[in-house]
Amino acid sequence: MLVWMHWMHKGKVLLLGEVDSTQDAAIAHELQHGDVCVSFNQTAGRGRRRNTWDGTGGVAVTVVLDSIQPHLPIAVAATLAAQLNNLIPHATVGIKWPNDLLVNGKKLAGVLIEQREGRYLVGIGVNVLSSPLPTSTALNDIGAETNLETVAELVSSSVFDASQIDENTAVTSWRKRDVLVGTMQSVRSGENMVEGMVLRIDPCHNLVLQTSDSILELPAASATIVTPWQQTR
């Protein structure tokens, strides 16, 4: 299935049936700046460090942009978290650095931005009808009254809204939803593995970790949290 839809923005919206990845599909269909690719059945989406994202029962959206500011990833996460929270006002959508949105400790959504062929692909997956793993949750599980197309349009508008936010505003909004500060974590930074308490996260620059004998500032671009989230709560 291939359908062109019209939402309240200037670009085109391509709705596909089952796809491996909306980011791959956006490139294959030669989408341009401001265009959006949507699928309600993504089977091989990607997360950070090439982890897979099963979009069955959810919404997968890729927004194509010609250029981005360095802080766009955190601006998107913070803006999307706020928009999704409007659908579930009785809950709190938190952000697990750098790109996971959580409710009650379970993953609701994820953000991944890739650069390919001169374009930036802002990919977002949101569990709506069902959650694929015991460690994830879905909007319907939390009591949201919504549908796939409404969530897809909300996701795409969040990206465009986020692109208008300055870095200070993005960082402030992001920190209000951070769930890692004050928790013990195992972090891989380059070839090294370190353990300690997260003291501070500057999401655009570094993660500050208190180990048993020192305070480390780890570059955000190369640091990855490897502690299973359930062990930190």
pLDDT digits (tens, 9 = 90+) for 183-218: 999 999 888 899 999 999 988 888 999 999 999 999
231 pLDDT tier (thresholds 50, 70, 90):
very low
Residue 133: per-residue pLDDT: 86
Query: If you average pLDDT over every residue of the chain, what do you get?
Result: 88
> Do 46 and 99 lie in a common domain?
yes
Residue pair 122/158 in contact (Cβ under 8 Å)? The answer is no
Q: Is 24 domain-assigned?
A: yes
Domain that holds residue 114: 2-177
- Shared domain check, 55 and 71: yes
Does residue 101 sit in the same domain as residue 169? yes
What pLDDT does residue 192 have? 87
Structure tokens at 35: 């265009």
Do 74 and 130 reside in the same domain of the chain? yes
- In DSSP terms, 215 is beta-bridged to 210
Q: Is residue 233 part of a domain?
A: no
- Count H helices and E strands in the chain, helices first: 4, 15
- pLDDT band of 8, cuts 50, 70, 90: low
Say yes or no to pLDDT of 9 above 80: no
> Are 189 and 171 in the same domain?
no
| Structure confidence by residue, pLDDT tens digits, 36-79 | 999 998 776 555 445 555 556 899 999 999 999 999 999 999 99
Between 72-87 and 167-177, two packed helices, what is the crossing angle to 10 degrees? 50
State the pTM of this model.
Answer: 0.87
What are the helix (H) ranges across the chain? 22-28, 72-87, 148-162, 167-177
> Is there a domain that residue 144 lies in?
yes
**Which of 48-52, 107-111, 132-136, 141-145 has the lowest average pLDDT?**
48-52
What DSSP character marks residue 136?
Answer: B
